[in-house]
Chains A and B, each alone.
Chain A
Amino acid sequence: MRMKRIGTIGVAGAGILGVLALTGCAADTKASGGGDDKVVLAEPSWVGATANAAVVKKLLEDELDVKVEAKQMDEPVAFDALNSGKADAILEDWHGVPKKEKLYVEKKKTVVSGGDLGVVGHIGWFVPKYWADKHPDAVKDFKKLNKYYKDFRTSESGKLGHFIGAAPSYSQHDKELIKNFDMKFKHIPSGAEAAQLKELKRLYDAKKPFLTYWWEPQWMNEKIDMVEVKLPKHTPGCEVPASKAKCGYETNQLEKFLNADFAKSNSKAAQFIKNFHWSTEDQNEVAGMIAGEKMDPEDAAAKWIKENKSKWEKWIPKK
């Protein structure tokens, strides 16, 4: 089980109850400021992010002796936390909240970019391979899906085909696409990523056809064989405003963002996080261990670290 190790907060020496309470407060207020003694990572709710955080945390704690707390928060909230200093860094941002990004990075300058993560993110519409093999024409041109919409009907979607939408915090404009292209589909959003995964797994195991919002990197891709449906090519700004969007999704260089003060401090931890850069495959390996094999994130990270010393040695700042 993945622990959010808060660790001891520098109160071990305190003797009497009152003294202890006081030092406890003092230690805490200092820690939440984002100093060198504890780094707070914003960890969005998908497994890839868990993998990032687990590896960074393990390395920071073992190699640089820096305490790390990973707090689960999705992008919109994470940006607020980076702005206020409640979090120091987010390791994987999908550019899902352009408004806040603009406000904090460009206007207020309280959040700064930490460079690319190295992982390439890609979003699109996917169908399972067993269905794609039977209907190759639909895979090449998404409009042909209208021919087969009856395959995708469920009790939820009624007369239309069922489009499994993304969880609410994910970047998406599928609903608008369906409307703008007169697709005979009903966009039914997922409540959470877990719910979507479970639903896909269920449908996949039952060999049922489905059409879904899906993305890479995603550890489930190793268990579920899916084929992307081709959407109109993305051009910069084509999805703004969403109501007029007529294009697919951008291929994203996932980016790290840091709290400005934290970045400026240029502490070892900050340097390390700026250096942190790994590939989609690396991330999938760790994520797969966590989600697929149900390993403890800490153990999964330890295993990857043990096997890939050459990769992470570069991230450690020089003394």
Chain B
Amino acid sequence: MSSPTLTKDETTQSSPPSSGSSGPRTTPEAPSALARFAANPKALALVVAALVVIVSGLVSGDGTWPHSLTADVKSPLNDLDNWLVDNRDTHWIFLYFLLHLSNTAQVCYDTLLSLLESMSYVGVIVVGTLIAWAAGGADLSRRALRTGGTALAVFVVCGVLDVWEPTMETLALMIVAVVFSALLGGLLGLASGLSDRCEKILRPVFDTMQVMPAFAYLLPLILMFDIGVPSALIATVIYAAPPMARLTSLGLRQADPTALEAATSLGADARQRLLTARLPLARKQMMLGLNQTIMMCLSMVVLASLIGAGGLGSEVYEALGALKIGDALVAGIAVVLLAVLLDRTTAAAGERLDDVATSGISRTVERLRLAVWGGIVVLIGVFAAVGTAIAGNEWPEGWVVDFSNSVDTAVDWFTDHLGSGIPVLGGTITWAQGFTEYVLNPLRDGLLATPWWGLALLVAVIGWIVGTWRAALTGVICLALIGWMRLWDVAMDTLSQVLAGLFLTIIVGVLVGILCARVQRVDRIMRPVLDTMQTMPQFVYLIPVIALVGQNRTGGILAAVIYAAPAVIRITAQGLRTVDPAAMEASTSLGATGKQQLFGVQLPLARKSMLVALNQGVVLVLSMVVIAGLIGGGALGYMVVQGLSKGDLSQGFPAGIAIVCLGIMLDRLSQPVGKRVRD
């Protein structure tokens, strides 16, 4: 990372720091490279820290956090747990605050759902299609027709797949969650966009939220709100509001300063400046934020089926409980389709707003659009009144196609043969055992054998090299907190899984990413695959993975790789593709071969986006490794699952905190300075 970049180096002499210091082989280039290396204090520090870790690990053999530096966090949490159970029905904070919150959420959801149901499937399809069409511009342009068509297709396919009802439940959840997330996010964004003090407070909160696996904060919510829709909605809003807030704040802060100054120079007061200039100028970023918020809402609404959200997520979850991969996949497809629908519609709406902003619209078109929206509202009313009378409120039973059984058969066949039926090569189960024995176990044992102070030193040094002393400090504090809660050993287990998963993810991601960036055809094939993989609910991967590699840590890691690789692939490919064309042209004009171009120009120039990919990979792998607690990943993830299913705060909460600590630490260690905004 910090080793000097050798521009024209054909030898592979420049080796990783640890071996570079131990055995210098004298070649003509070596002394200068070594000298440069030694002159770099950061590299030197890294070598020293690595050596300390290795030596101390070998010497001590047992590096757990000292017991004297821990605290018993379980007893107070147990007390809190008991207090919650005892007072949930009587204490004022529940009666006058939390209860209202949860009732409001419930009422909103119920109302919306009954509205959707009373509109019957015909009404929903007609109105949904019209809304998408109107969002796309409400005219005969390609964009409007395409958006409307997408909506129509999505709804019909959801019906045909026989998941109409759960789809409506999820849709109702989504609408409520998106509205509240956008409102909350918008308000927070406004605060942090307008006030530096708010920004200072909220910024770290948003940063933390972004790396926090959602799984970790489900438990406190069910203790406060009980299992059910309110908990799910609140979890979703907490999870999905930050991107809206971030981008709103960013948009407000990036608004053309001259335009703002112009407004001031014309005598606008603060309110006028905000309403007529600043907010409109931030509109584009806010639309982007809304889009991200919607996507995150969807993924969380699905995950929240663990705490009683219902809808498609619980279809997936329950189908998996009965080992029905086919059913789970069908529900998963419906989720993907919903994602496509929401994404396309908001994107089209954003584009249209842009068009209006850059080229204006005529008065008649504006009136027409208003009329269309008015018509939609009227239609909703009409369908709500007579929808069920026309068509009945359930999707007709004859209009469904069931292919879940054939999917089951196919998946079974596939996993059986891949699992152990490949001649010579063995199969995935054998490989997984090898991976566990030769990678995972040594890694875990190594981490456990390393003294805690050695690891803290390494974390500090890496943090200092990659970022600032602040990153180093944050990392060490996170580690200390984990140790303090007596979760050191368990956390090291999880950490070893994350590191192994990250390693695989980066290899897969970068290789496929390079392929995508260089071969057009691969890119075209991979694009929809990646889209699907990114929006498919994480649960769907879990059960087939067991068939492939068994219920163990490797299974969890495999699921994590599947989950995290698409993002890494995408960012890598993007980074390679957007390398400065002038540099590419220059290297072509010098007669570089494709390989020379890749290693000499593209990869070095794309370094920044590769680092972003690494960072993104860390966050995604961690969140999945934790969910893998459901399929034998063990460690912290299992503790959270246990806490969740037993409603046991003392068990799940510290584990959740430890996961967050790991997340923050890994994020800070993999995040180069000045690269805060992620896409």
> Which chain A residues have a beta carbon within 8 Å of chain B's beta carbons?
1-6, 8-9, 11-12, 14-17, 20-21, 24-25, 27-29, 32, 45-47, 50, 71-74, 76-77, 80-81, 84, 86, 97, 100, 103, 154-156, 158, 164, 167-169, 188-199, 201-203, 205-206, 290-291, 294
Contacts and interface: CB of A to CB of B under 8 A. Distances in A.
Given A8-B388, A155-B436, A202 B550 contact: yes
B321 to A, nearest CB: 5
A198 B226 contact: no
B571 to A, nearest CB: 30
Given A20-B385, A191-B629, A195-B551, A80 B646 contact: no
Contact of B543 (A12, A86, A198): A198
7 contacts: A5-B165, A8-B118, A155-B432, A168-B638, A191-B628, A194-B321, A201-B323
B543 A194 contact: yes
Given A15-B385, A17-B381, A290-B322, A73 B227 contact: yes
B163 A192 contact: no
B240 to A, nearest CB: 23
Name which of B166, B324, B405, B416 has the most chain A CB atoms within 10 A of its CB.
B324
A77 B227 contact: yes
A203 B552 CA distance: 13
Name which of A16, A100, A169, A193 has the most chain B CB atoms within 10 A of its CB.
A169
Contact of B405 (A6, A25, A294): A294
Contact of A28 (B85, B110, B166): B110
Contacts of A84: 88-89, 226
B638 A32 contact: no
B327 interface: yes
Nearest to B324: A294
A4 B167 CA distance: 12
Contacts of B420: 206
Nearest to B555: A195
Contact of B323 (A28, A29, A198): A198
B228 interface: yes
Contacts of B638: 168, 189, 191
B322 A6 contact: no
B-side interface size class: 35 or more
Contacts of B647: 76-77, 80
B101 interface: no
Contacts of A27: 114
B107 A199 contact: no
Contacts of A193: 321
B310 interface: yes
B114 A9 contact: yes
A89 B12 CA distance: 69
Contacts of B315: 1
A198 B546 contact: yes
Contacts of B642: 168-169, 189
B393 interface: yes
Nearest to A104: B85
Name which of B440, B629, B637 has the most chain A CB atoms within 10 A of its CB.
B629
Nearest to B435: A155
B645 A169 contact: yes
A195 B631 contact: yes
Given A195-B630, A199-B550, A24 B322 contact: no
A21 B385 contact: no
Contact of A8 (B107, B166, B318, B393): B393
B453 to A, nearest CB: 26
Given A20-B384, A28-B114, A194-B320, A76 B646 contact: yes
Given A46-B321, A191-B637, 7 more contacts: A28-B106, A97-B646, A100-B85, A155-B437, A168-B642, A192-B630, A193-B321
B385 A16 contact: yes
Contacts of B546: 195, 198-199, 202
Contacts of A202: 419, 546-547, 550
A11 B383 CA distance: 13
A63 B310 CA distance: 26
A154 B645 contact: no
Contacts of B641: 168, 191-192
Contacts of A290: 322
A80 B226 contact: yes
A12 B118 contact: yes
B110 A25 contact: yes
B433 interface: yes
B406 to A, nearest CB: 11
B91 to A, nearest CB: 14
Interface string B622-646: 0000001111111001100110011
Contacts of A103: 85
A81 B231 CA distance: 13
A28 B230 CA distance: 14
A12 B390 CA distance: 12
B624 to A, nearest CB: 13
B377 interface: yes
B226 A199 contact: no
Contacts of A194: 320-323, 543
Contacts of A72: 308, 314, 317-318
A158 B441 contact: yes
Contacts of A169: 642, 645-646
B580 to A, nearest CB: 47
Name which of B110, B162, B420, B441 has the most chain A CB atoms within 10 A of its CB.
B110
Contacts of A4: 165-166, 310, 314
B89 to A, nearest CB: 7
Contacts of B381: 15-17, 20
Given A155-B433, A199-B550, A8 B117 contact: yes
B353 interface: no
B45 interface: no
A71 B384 CA distance: 27
Contact of A190 (B117, B308, B632): B632
Contacts of A12: 118, 388
Contacts of A164: 551
B310 A50 contact: no
Name which of A4, A27, A206 has the most chain B CB atoms within 10 A of its CB.
A4
Given A4-B310, A202-B550, A291 B634 contact: no
B117 A6 contact: yes
B509 to A, nearest CB: 25
Contacts of A50: 322
A195 B556 CA distance: 11
A287 to B, nearest CB: 9
A17 B85 contact: no
Name which of A16, A29, A189, A206 has the most chain B CB atoms within 10 A of its CB.
A189
B542 interface: yes
Name which of A1, A46, A73 has the most chain B CB atoms within 10 A of its CB.
A1
Nearest to A31: B110
Contacts of B324: 294
Interface in B110-149: 110-111, 113-115, 117-118
B380 A86 contact: no
A291 B319 contact: no
Name which of B327, B384, B641 has the most chain A CB atoms within 10 A of its CB.
B384
Contact of B645 (A8, A167, A203, A291): A167
Interface string B403-418: 0110010000000100
A130 to B, nearest CB: 17
